[in-house]
Structure 1
Amino acid sequence: MNDLRNSPAGGTPSKGFALDRQNRKLMGVCSGIARHFGIDVTLVRVGFVLGTLLGLGSFLLIYLAIGLIAD
């Protein structure tokens, strides 16, 4: 029987977010986000670096939280 708990409107199950273990640099958070949204991983990494520098480290805490909670 198909598990349709995570599927939209009874269709096929959604893929969801997962860390990218093959293309990772640290924990795979940025590459997982890039794969999930279909964008370039370099843009996500630059965004996290800028966010960490401009946000006084708040993006670093977000990165660590995602890395520890996901998967």
Structure 2
Amino acid sequence: MSRDTPPSGEIYLEIQQVGRQVKMTAIHADTGVEVVVFGPVSASQEDLKRLAVRKLQRRLEQESGA
């Protein structure tokens, strides 16, 4: 997987406001691997989504030993 290519398979995204922060959770459907990122309420949801997917991709790469 390259840095710009999202992980293959479905990714579930959940966004939740926690006080003055936003919590974005990304879950890889095939493996169940889950990551969480936080950002300010003023942050773009697209930016948080992109960050969560990149973090998920990195976690999947680490777990596969790549």
Q: Give TM-score scaled by structure 1 length.
A: 0.32
Decide which structure has greater strand share. Answer: 2
Q: Give TM-score scaled by structure 2 length.
A: 0.34
Q: Which has the higher contact order (CA 8 A, sep 6+)?
A: 2
